Each structure stands twice: as C-alpha cells, then as structure tokens.
Amino acid sequence: MSLRAEKDREAADEDTLESVTPEEIADVKTLEVFNRMHDENRHYLQLEHDTFMKTNRSLTKHVKAQKALFKGDTELAYEYISQGLNRDETADMLALKGSVYHSMGDNEKAEYYWNKAVERNTDVVSDLYPGLKYWYSQR
C-alpha cells in the first residue's frame, strides 16, 4: 500500500469515528451487554441441560430397578439401582437399594441403606417401600 493510500485510509477512519452519534455508541454498548447476557444465559442453559440429563438417567435407572424388583429379578434390580446410585445418591435410590437387599435376604445391608435413606429424607418412609416402612415402624 502506498503512503498516500495509507494516509487516505487513516483520514477516513478518523472521519468515521468523529461521525458516530451518541445513539450509535449507546447501541454498541447495548449490544455488548446483550452479548454478555447471552453468553451467561448459554452457560446457565448448559448447566440446566446437564442437570436434567443426569437426573433423567438416574430416574430411568430407578424406574428400571423398581420394575425388575417387582418382577422378582433382584439381580437386575441390583444392577440398575447401583448404576443409578453411581450417578445420583437420593433418598429414594438408597431406599430402593435397601429393598433390593431385603429381597435378596441380606437384612443387614438392607437396614444400612434404609437408614441412609431416612437420614437423607424421612419422607422416603412410604408405601413405595413396604419393607422400609415396616422396619422404620419397629425402631
């Protein structure tokens, strides 16, 4: 680029900067704020999505474990509930694992998991887990 062309470009840049109105500057600042908010929203949406996916996978394992236990397949129920507990350790998951152990005849482990479930949330004592409900009433 020649020296003359470079000076012409610099002069054009200066003219452009001087001709920017306060409204245009405000629009640029508004756009910057909007972009920052968009980035933050995207971050929170990603967190929300990740949390939903984790919860959904855990809930799926919990439901599959309940179905397997209801059908009498304690080994499959144990497998599903163990996978679910690896993802998310909720009172319901712990109570169900206790019920699985109870069905397997291991009352010591059943009581251990039921106790952990009740420590986490006493509302877990319900008709959903009859073994836990009976055990809890005998304490």
More confident residue, 40 or 7: 40
| Mean pLDDT in residue range 50-57 | 75
pLDDT tens for residues 64-105? 999 999 999 999 999 999 999 888 888 999 999 999 999 999
Query: Locate tokens 């001087």: which residue?
Result: 18
Q: In the chain, how many H helices and how many E strands?
A: 6, 0
Tell whether the model's pLDDT for residue 22 goes beyond 60.
yes
Whole-number pLDDT of residue 87: 81
Say if residue 137 is exposed, middle or buried (CB neighbours under 10 Å; 0-12, 13-18, 19+). Answer: exposed
Whole-number pLDDT of residue 13: 54
Query: Locate tokens 């887990």: which residue?
Result: 129
Q: Position 24: which residue type? A: E
Domains detected in the chain = 3-137 (1.25.40.10)
Task: Write down the pTM of the prediction.
Answer: 0.60
Whole-number pLDDT of residue 106: 96
More confident residue, 26 or 66: 66
Whole-number pLDDT of residue 43: 74
